A and B are shown apart, each in its own frame.
Chain A
Amino acid sequence: MMIKYFNKFKLISFIFIIFFSSFSINILVSVEPDEVLQNQKQELRAREISKNIRCMVCQNQSIDESNASLARDLRILIRDKIKEGKSNTEIYKFLTDRYGDFILLKPALKYETLALWFLPFIFLILGIFVIYQHNKKSNKFK
């Protein structure tokens, strides 16, 4: 009984570790002092947008983290657009019109991306179902 309880605890903690380690903390920032906007509210908006925009050169970094010159250009462009009074949606549209949805680090929830967003959950449910079936069967033999 004790051993069984301990294993359960181990299993749960293992799942928790895996789950939380997937949220890695991001400390990398490449924004240079001369780029920073005077208005703090606007700067925060710019940082928020930059974090969601893929650096097309390095591809697995956001432009907020990248040192590539195109990333810098885009960071400045985003800040210019904010100063012009453009909304976040307008800025995202400006970028996706030119670079496509690929420039968004998080793919948009669209008809074409439904499988991408929901297949993992379907597989999870399927997996739980298979394990459940398996356990039910093995319990019978006990």
Chain B
Amino acid sequence: MSKKIFLFPFLVFSLILFIFFYLLLIERDPSDIPSNLIDKSIPQFKSKSLIKDSEYVSQENFKNKITLVNFFASWCKPCRDEHKYIQLLANNKNIQVIGINYKDNRKKATGWLNEVGNPYLYIATDKRGSIAIDWGVYGIPETFIVNSQGIIKYRHVGPITKKIYKKINFILNETK
């Protein structure tokens, strides 16, 4: 009986060790925190358009279409890295891409878009970062998939890589 008791801590320790090694070996990013907004409606917002100062961009622009929302800035290097994938996604006829320009300077942002190309149908400006807080954004670039009912289905933190691009396409095919 007492011998079995001594075996017990050893077994627990092995189990913990196994779990730790498993978590180390599987491919995962511990800094990638699941969004609290998944399966919830998009936050209400309204801001001046980056392209036309007289126009506004708001949740009205989502109009029953599957929408990709991308938080970006001209000062953000990874945003440049993911730009080609945003462009590819913008070519998809089934979806619309809305950009939210985060804490940026209008001149610099439009200059950057002129240089690399503008994949966005609408661009909202978030000068003080308050829209980003409402969306639970903590590190740009961040990308959200919103279904046609205005429900957030997916969020990716960080630049879109080839792998993430494939994943996004897969989710877009599933989204209605």
A binding-site residues for B, Cβ under 8 Å:
56-57, 59, 69-70, 73-74, 77, 96-102, 126-127, 130, 133-134, 137
Contact = CB atoms under 8 A, between A and B. Distances in A.
B136 A99 contact: yes
Contact of B133 (A74, A102, A127): A74
Contact of A100 (B6, B9, B33): B33
B37 A98 contact: yes
B39 interface: no
Contacts of A100: 33-36, 136
Contacts of B136: 98-100
Contact of B36 (A57, A77, A97, A130): A97
Interface string B131-165: 00111101100000000000000000000000000
A88 B139 CA distance: 26
B2 to A, nearest CB: 6
A80 B103 CA distance: 19
A12 B128 CA distance: 54
Nearest to B134: A98
A101 B31 CA distance: 15
Interface of B: 2, 5-6, 8-9, 31, 33-37, 43, 103, 128-130, 133-136, 138-139
A60 to B, nearest CB: 11
Contacts, number: 49
Contact of B5 (A74, A99, A101, A133): A133
Given A56-B139, A99-B136, A130 B5 contact: yes
A56 B34 CA distance: 12
A128 B39 CA distance: 46
B8, B31, B138: most-surrounded residue (chain A CB, <10 A): B138
**What's the dominant secondary structure at chain B's contact region?**
loop
Contacts of A126: 8-9
A99 B31 contact: no
Nearest to A100: B36
5 pairs of A and B residues whose beta carbons are closest in the complex: A56-B138, A100-B36, A98-B136, A99-B136, A102-B33
Contacts of B43: 98
10 contacts: A56-B138, A57-B138, A69-B129, A70-B133, A98-B36, A98-B43, A98-B134, A98-B135, A99-B36, A126-B8
B129 A70 contact: yes
Contact of B138 (A96, A99, A130, A133): A99
A56 B133 contact: no
Contacts of A130: 5-6, 8-9
Nearest to A74: B133
